[in-house]
Structure 1
Amino acid sequence: MVTKTAWIFPGQGSQIVGMGRDLATTDLGKEYFRKAQDILGWSVLEVCQGDTKILSRTLYTQPCLYVIQCILINLLKQNQTNPNFLAGHSLGEYAALHAAEVFDFTTGLQLVKNRAEFMDNVVGGKMVALIKFDRLYLNEIIANVPNVVLANDNSEQQVVISGTPQAVDKVSNSIKAKRVIELKVSGAFHSHLMKEASEQFQVLLENINFEEAQVPVLSNVEAVPRTSKIVLKENLKKQMTGSVRWRETMISMVEHEVIRIVEIGPGKILSNLFKKEYTQITIKNISSLSDF
């Protein structure tokens, strides 16, 4: 039996101060950090070693995570390691597409830079995570409250709702949940309130050349393995306003006989979601050189 492996990439919220320091000791890391500084106009390494508040700002978080994930991807590939499937959570989808060779490192970083700028400019929204709740009742409430959506369907017992502060508060106050956690974000990501930012980004995305994926990628908005550059670009266009269907992504991977998960990037957010739902899956985390 062939052991099927999936590489998965976390998104915003997984960042940790100090990440990437050891990667700067490698030739590949030095090269990527230098290229990133040329594109961004600031040092990823300095921001990652600096203040939590600055690193947590969308404008900086997204490029920092993408750069570090790409260094780890290419160090893995130097070791002749390749997956059978790829997926990323929100921002993580860009690292997944780079790993699939849909676009090169610098093209992806330019996209992430613009995405972060557009998203950072959106204010006035709110996002709240709900843990352990009645899913049917939640769906019913959301259907009857305007300006709020299910933004991240992370697992059977963990979701994020997004929308106007009033609408999000109305839903979170109406549902019984074990935990209700307000996310530290500036806008209502993955909702219709990101429409203007999404439209600006789509214009930019239209002119970017995509290649056919060398490894199937499960996009956030579809949760189905795809290699078509046309489909993958269309899915990315919908991502900023669409829901992150991570629960379905996990189901799809299990259905495709994935038995090994490698989470690439800081933290263990996605690994823990798999661990709780699928005890039969082997999990590895790669966030630094010591993990190789």
Structure 2
Amino acid sequence: MRAFLFPGQGSQYSGMAEDFSVLPDWNYYSKRAEEVLNLNLIDIMNGNEEVLKLTENAQPAIYLASYVGYKFLEKNGVTYHITAGHSLGEYTAFAAAGVYDFDFGIYLVRKRGEYISEAIEPGKGSMAAVLRISPSQVEELVKNYEGLYVANYNSSTQTVISGLKISLDKFINDCKEKGIRVAELVVSGPFHTPFLKSAREKLIGEIEHVKFNKPKVPIVLNSTGKASTDPEELKYYLLEQISGPVYWYQSIKYMLALGVTEFIEIGPKNVLLNMLKRERINIKHFREFENVKL
């Protein structure tokens, strides 16, 4: 049993459009993306890292690259039985599974990025990965800092916190003194926290009247760590994860319990692969299925 996984923000890099342009469907979908968004997205993807990492730019860039990677596997007969996406990647998983089409997805993630940026001024919030200690230990540490939350349960030894930059900086310094390893992430906002409730409310207006289709495979949701094929449930939890935590490790364990024996990450970098290989999970990157080295 095989699962397709789609990465979230932080997997972007300058030059990604040039790298992905070797894939067969790149020209079609990159043009569609620019037409739908009325934006020079390709220039942004190949340009300045600071501009690319802005939420409203990074999200459609990752979505586009990941979707083109998915189409490559589909055309080459690589099948899958279940899917999930990490944070932003959940939106790509929905598109790949046919819940909505590519055009609506690229529009939606651009709007998601804009609304997140509007929710809190860029630079006032950030995220960091806490490494080599348990999630429960991180939960206890975070309680001592105002405006910090557990955002992503990524693995047994990687938990991401999110919130106010001023509190995050203090948290990182305190952890260094205690010998706890913390790495700040390349993002421009405090994702998956109550600070983004306004973004969630605005996005409701974008999708409340849109009909979601039943996915062609079950989708394991960030907010529950369990699979669903119900369109209304999918719509509800796609919104819920904007301001709530991502139960990623729980999602992976759930898929393993269902009988998944192989995971394939489809996206610009090896973020999910690196995360899960430490758990001794059988995961590959989609580029292993092509002859062209990106």
The normalised TM-score by structure 1 is: 0.90
Aligned-CA RMSD value: 2.2
Matched, 1:139 2:136: no
Number of equivalenced pairs? 288
Amino acid of the residue matched to residue 251 of structure 1? K
For residues 1-292 of structure 1, the aligned pairs below 5 Å read 4-25=1-22, 28-121=25-118, 122-123=120-121, 124-143=124-143, 145-175=145-175, 176=178, 178-279=180-281, 281-286=282-287, 290=292
Q: How big is the shift at 1:45?
A: 2.2
Write the deviation string for residues 100-130 of structure 1: whole angstroms up to 9, x where unpaired.
Answer: 1100000111111100111122222232221
Cα gap change, 1:111/1:177 in structure 2, threshold over 3 Å: closer, same or farther?
farther
Q: 1:25 and 1:74 mapped to 2: Cα distance?
A: 13
Q: How big is the shift at 1:62?
A: 0.6
Write the deviation string for residues 116-152 of structure 1: whole angstroms up to 9, x where unpaired.
Answer: 1111222222322211125433322334544221001
Q: How big is the shift at 1:207?
A: 2.0
Q: How big is the shift at 1:94?
A: 0.9
SS of the residue 2:17 aligns to? coil
Amino acid of the residue matched to residue 229 of structure 1? P
Cα gap change, 1:165/1:21 in structure 2, threshold over 3 Å: closer, same or farther?
closer
Q: How big is the shift at 1:88?
A: 0.8
Q: 1:177 and 1:205 mapped to 2: Cα distance?
A: 45
Kept in 2: contact 1:133–1:177 (CA 8 A): no
Q: 1:206 and 1:92 mapped to 2: Cα distance?
A: 20
Cα gap change, 1:26/1:235 in structure 2, threshold over 3 Å: closer, same or farther?
same
Q: Which runs of 5+ in 1 are unaligned?
A: none
Kept in 2: contact 1:212–1:227 (CA 8 A): yes
Kept in 1: contact 2:138–2:159 (CA 8 A): no
Q: 2:23 and 2:223 mapped to 1: Cα distance?
A: 35
Kept in 2: contact 1:149–1:161 (CA 8 A): yes
Q: 1:207 and 1:173 mapped to 2: Cα distance?
A: 46
Q: How big is the shift at 1:291?
A: 6.1
Q: 1:93 and 1:31 mapped to 2: Cα distance?
A: 22
Kept in 2: contact 1:133–1:157 (CA 8 A): yes
SS of the residue 1:180 aligns to? strand
Q: Which runs of 5+ in 2 are unaligned?
A: none
Cα gap change, 1:98/1:135 in structure 2, threshold over 3 Å: closer, same or farther?
closer
Q: How big is the shift at 1:197?
A: 1.4
SS of the residue 1:21 aligns to? helix
Write the deviation string for residues 210-261 of structure 1: whole angstroms up to 9, x where unpaired.
Answer: 1011111111111111111111111111011011111111111211111111
The 4+ residue runs of structure 1 with deviation greater than 6 A are none
Q: Which moved more, 1:261-270 or 1:131-140?
A: 131-140
Q: 2:236 and 2:20 mapped to 1: Cα distance?
A: 33
Kept in 2: contact 1:190–1:244 (CA 8 A): yes
Q: Which moved more, 1:73-82 or 1:241-250?
A: 73-82
Write the deviation string for residues 159-200 of structure 1: whole angstroms up to 9, x where unpaired.
Answer: 111122344345445554542122233321100011111111
Kept in 1: contact 2:69–2:266 (CA 8 A): yes
Q: Which moved more, 1:67-76 or 1:140-149?
A: 140-149
Write the deviation string for residues 54-93 of structure 1: whole angstroms up to 9, x where unpaired.
Answer: 2222121111111111112122222232211111111111
Q: How much identity, in percent, do the aligned residues show?
A: 33
Amino acid of the residue matched to residue 62 of structure 2? L
Kept in 2: contact 1:127–1:162 (CA 8 A): yes
Kept in 2: contact 1:193–1:241 (CA 8 A): yes
Kept in 2: contact 1:132–1:157 (CA 8 A): yes
The normalised TM-score by structure 2 is: 0.90
Kept in 2: contact 1:7–1:85 (CA 8 A): yes
SS of the residue 1:210 aligns to? coil
